[in-house]
Amino acid sequence: MTRSSTSHADPAENPYVEEPPTDFDPVAELSREAAERQATLLRAAVREHDHRYYVEADPLIDDAVYDRLYARLEALEREFDLATDDSPTRRVGGEPLDELETVEHVAPMRSIDNGKTAEAVREFDERVRSGLETAGFDPDDLRYVCEPKFDGLSIEVVYENGRYVLAATRGDGIEGDDVTEQVRTIPSIPGRLRGDPPETLAVRGEIYMPRDAFEAHNEERRERGEDPFANPRNAAAGTLRQLDPAVVADRPLDAFFFDVLAWEEVQNASATRPTTNRGQFDAFDAFGLPRTDRIELVEDIEAAIAYRDRTGEDRETLNYAIDGVVIKVNDRVACEALGSTSRAPRWAFAYKFPPRTATTTVRGITVQVGRTGRLTPVAELEPVDVGGVTVSRATLHNPAEIEGLGVNVGDRVRIYRAGDVIPYVPEVVEKRSEGSYEFPETCPVCGAPIERDGPLAFCSGGLGCPEQLERAVEHWARRDALDVEGLGPERVEQLREAGLVESLPDLYDLTAADLASLEGWGETSAENLIDALDATRNPPLDRFLAGLGIPDVGATTARALATHFGDLDALLDADEAALREVDDVGPEVAASIRTFFDGEENRAAIAGLRERGVDPEPVEGAGEDASPPLDGLTFVFTGSLSVARNDAQATVERHGANATSSVSGNTDYLIAGENPGRSKREDADTNDVPVLDEAAFADLLADHGIDWPPA
């Protein structure tokens, strides 16, 4: 099999690549010649966008714009009978990456036809009915099975004699990338099937990053100064492209399976393939393959439409991203009779949710200052409804983005909002102003000069900038840092405005009397905050470090630094070479730590804290030779313990162990509190992982000289 080559359009010569129109003339008004010319350009443009989207994972245009180009091309090909075999409307849009090995799929991995209206779904139903009638089926026997359409990464997984042997991405539908080692690290994908599987089983599913994990992961990226992923789909795709399986193992991915690509048995007659799509899910259950429990078998297309509406209502509450539902003919013999085009099966249809985008006017552009001084421009908008939510602000990310969009006050823009993503502006739809917004040269809050670093801009005012100071104090008080209750953003702002807090150490000069004199404070709340601050005077070293907000140092790196150096002075004196000896710390992070500790302001803050008796506890037994007591062990926690799960995880990590969120063959202990999760217990059984209750866990820690519950 040869790899299909993709010719790329030269963006400069093709208007549909660089600046796709927002509207097209009606197809009926075109001459045949004009239609041919347009179709040729559109084909080249769609190919180019496919490449940017599937291969480079860096699309030039928004999905809605792409969908418009694609629909136009389909319409021209249909009306003027122009389809060519190599048209992108005839094939799946991806192609394998160069860095990974290429593998051929056991059966083509096709796309799915889709639409956003009930009308389009009814037309699909009519096509199915007439197709079945032609093939001699009784359309009255027709049943549909409905499932959520997961917005992740399509994957093929192959089992031979029940053993996991291969995983591949969709690629161009015929060949994909070999990601066997990467996918092997996903805990919910079994290494061995249970029950009575056929000799060869190839299944299709979707890999996704759970929403909570996505948010946590993005938070870490932001802390390291990296750009967050725009959505969970990109996060999952970016992760699976990692060539190093250890990186993949570190990021929480999960999977749902929904289709069988091949089911072959030579001798094992008991393992017959189910005759319905619904029945295949029961087989998945028996084999231990994860699948959604939101499957519904319905009597007719109207019930399928209702299913989509109900699913849409639950959309924001699910821990995974979905972009619609998939409606499939249930009976597999009927599916085979209907068959497939080269691009998509005729027996399935994706009924997508309405786009979460709208058009509105930019009323103003403001600039926000973050903890590290990073400046984020924000578009202040004419309020507009987007999928049921009123949006009046959208992020413009950074000055380079503004230049790229060419946006200015007064322009009409499209905004995009998904449940878990801050609304943003993918395009200007109508230019009504001159040029693009001119980014200020000084910080709008403190007036210090702005410094540019590539696409980003920073306020150079440091903790002298009121906004940076407030963010730094809030950061210090965060749960995973010093955990000071009662010190939220509003109170921090109040303390700064009252002149009580002008630096981090000032927090520890506060008195209950100072606070009680402020508006909205009583004696009790004042004393509570003073007590909460007092309780942080001897924090564990890692929390102290996390609280300082060193760029690139999140909670995990802070723990690694604390365990390695043991006390603050050793760390303050460490040069970059010494810092790089710590796990997780590469040259960039080492340089960033050094720069932070060399900064005069930061030195002064640390000295000021120590003068006020805020001094971190040294870590006992730390040092390069002594390996930490729980080194190499992996724990999973389930159910409720006497302390928060985060704290339990932090405790074992502080002593050298890993804490992960799902049980696999690599887990050493499952710690089960009250009301433990059933699936984790089952996974522990399957993988022979010992399950400890909290008392037994405390004993285990005591054997290693670790106190439980943690102080």
565 phi and psi, to 5 degrees? -90, -25
Would you say 645 is a known binding-site residue?
A: no
For residue 595 the two structure tokens come to 């720069």
For residue 150, give the 3-state DSSP assignment.
strand
| Residue-wise DSSP of 237-297 | HHHHT-S-HHHHHHS--EEEEEEEEEEE-SS-TT-PPPSBHHHHHHHHHHHT----S--EE
Residue type, 598: D
For residue 698 the two structure tokens come to 């405390």
**Residue 318 beta carbon to ligand NAD: minimum distance, rounded to whole angstroms:** 13
Q: Does 206 bind ligand NAD (CB under 6 A)?
A: yes
Would you say 352 is a known binding-site residue?
A: yes
Looking at the Cβ atoms of 139 and 449, the one nearer to Zn ion is: 449
For residue 446 the two structure tokens come to 């403190």
For residue 636 the two structure tokens come to 């999973």
Q: Does 50 bind ligand NAD (CB under 6 A)?
A: yes
The residue among 136, 143, 81 whose CA lies nearest residue 278 is: 143
Selected binder of ligand NAD within 150, 257, 263, 669 (CB under 6 A): 150
For residue 435 the two structure tokens come to 């040029």
Would you say 112 is a known binding-site residue?
A: yes
Q: Alpha helix locations (H) across 566-599?
A: 568-573, 576-580, 587-598
The residue among 319, 166, 323, 183 whose CA lies nearest residue 239 is: 183
Q: Does 444 bind Zn ion (CB under 5 A)?
A: no
H-helix or E-strand spanning residue 560: helix 555-565
- In whole angstroms, give the CA distance from residue 304 to residue 327: 7
Q: Does 567 bind ligand NAD (CB under 6 A)?
A: no
Choose from Zn ion, ligand NAD, none: what does 150 bind? Cβ within 5-8 Å by kind. ligand NAD
Looking at the Cβ atoms of 53 and 521, the one nearer to ligand NAD is: 53
Q: Does 157 bind ligand NAD (CB under 6 A)?
A: no
Residue type, 589: V
For residue 453, give the 3-state DSSP assignment.
strand
Looking at the Cβ atoms of 309 and 685, the one nearer to ligand NAD is: 309
Interacting span for ligand NAD (CB under 6 A) from 144-152, 300-308, 559-567, 647-655: 144-152
H-helix or E-strand spanning residue 309: helix 301-314
Q: Does 61 bind ligand NAD (CB under 6 A)?
A: yes
Selected binder of ligand NAD within 20, 59, 377, 505 (CB under 6 A): 59
Q: Does 288 bind ligand NAD (CB under 6 A)?
A: no
Q: Does 20 bind ligand NAD (CB under 6 A)?
A: no
Selected binder of Zn ion within 445, 510, 604, 696 (CB under 5 A): 445
Looking at the Cβ atoms of 92 and 562, the one nearer to ligand NAD is: 92
Interacting span for ligand NAD (CB under 6 A) from 45-53, 421-429, 533-541, 665-673: 45-53
Selected binder of ligand NAD within 11, 40, 52, 199 (CB under 6 A): 52
Interacting span for ligand NAD (CB under 6 A) from 49-57, 278-286, 454-462, 593-601: 49-57
Residue type, 683: D
Would you say 146 is a known binding-site residue?
A: no
Query: What does the per-residue mask of binding to Zn ion show for 463-502, with x meaning CB under 5 A?
Result: --x-------------------------------------
Would you say 206 is a known binding-site residue?
A: yes
Would you say 63 is a known binding-site residue?
A: yes
Looking at the Cβ atoms of 239 and 372, the one nearer to Zn ion is: 372
- CA 616, 620, 623, 627 dihedral sign is negative
- In whole angstroms, give the CA distance from residue 659 to residue 671: 11
Query: What does the per-residue mask of binding to ligand NAD show for 101-140, with x meaning CB under 6 A?
Result: ----------xx-x--------------------------
Q: What is the largest CA-CA distance in the chain?
A: 88
Choose from ligand NAD, Zn ion, none: what does 443 bind? Cβ within 5-8 Å by kind. Zn ion
The residue among 227, 218, 259 whose CA lies nearest residue 420 is: 218
228 phi and psi, to 5 degrees? -70, 160
The burial class, CB within 10 Å (0-12 / 13-18 / 19+), for 32 is: exposed
Q: 240 near 286, Cβ under 8 Å? A: no
Selected binder of ligand NAD within 43, 49, 278, 414 (CB under 6 A): 49
Q: Does 443 bind Zn ion (CB under 5 A)?
A: yes
Strand segments, DSSP code E, in 138-238 are 144-150, 153-160, 163-169, 175-177, 200-208
Query: What does the per-residue mask of binding to Zn ion show for 401-440, with x meaning CB under 5 A?
Result: ----------------------------------------
Interacting span for ligand NAD (CB under 6 A) from 56-64, 79-87, 557-565, 580-588: 56-64
For residue 674, give the 3-state DSSP assignment.
strand
Looking at the Cβ atoms of 260 and 459, the one nearer to ligand NAD is: 260
What is the separation of C-alpha 512 from the centre of its chain, rounded to a whole number of angstroms? 43
Selected binder of ligand NAD within 47, 149, 414, 655 (CB under 6 A): 149
Active site residue ranges = 149
What is the separation of C-alpha 59 from the centre of its chain, rounded to a whole number of angstroms? 17
Looking at the Cβ atoms of 92 and 561, the one nearer to ligand NAD is: 92
**SS3 assignment for 16-78:** HHHCCCCCCCCHHHCCHHHHHHHHHHHHHHHHHHHHHHHHCCCCCCCHHHHHHHHHHHHHHHH
- In whole angstroms, give the CA distance from residue 191 to residue 338: 34
The residue among 86, 83, 149 whose CA lies nearest residue 121 is: 149
Looking at the Cβ atoms of 485 and 502, the one nearer to Zn ion is: 502
**Residue 116 beta carbon to ligand NAD: minimum distance, rounded to whole angstroms:** 10
Looking at the Cβ atoms of 95 and 206, the one nearer to ligand NAD is: 206
Q: Does 67 bind ligand NAD (CB under 6 A)?
A: yes
Would you say 431 is a known binding-site residue?
A: no
**Residue 122 beta carbon to ligand NAD: minimum distance, rounded to whole angstroms:** 20
Which residue ranges are tagged as binding site for Zn(2+)? Answer: 443, 446, 465
Binding stretches for ligand NAD (CB under 6 A) = 49-50, 52-53, 59, 61-63, 66-67, 93, 111-112, 114, 147, 149-150, 154, 170, 206, 258, 326, 350
Question: Which residue ranges are tagged as binding site for NAD(+)?
Answer: 63-67, 111-112, 147, 170, 206, 328, 352
User: Which residues are near Zn ion by CB under 5 A?
Assistant: 443, 445-446, 448, 459, 461, 465
Q: Which residues are annotated as a binding site?
A: 63-67, 111-112, 147, 170, 206, 328, 352, 443, 446, 465
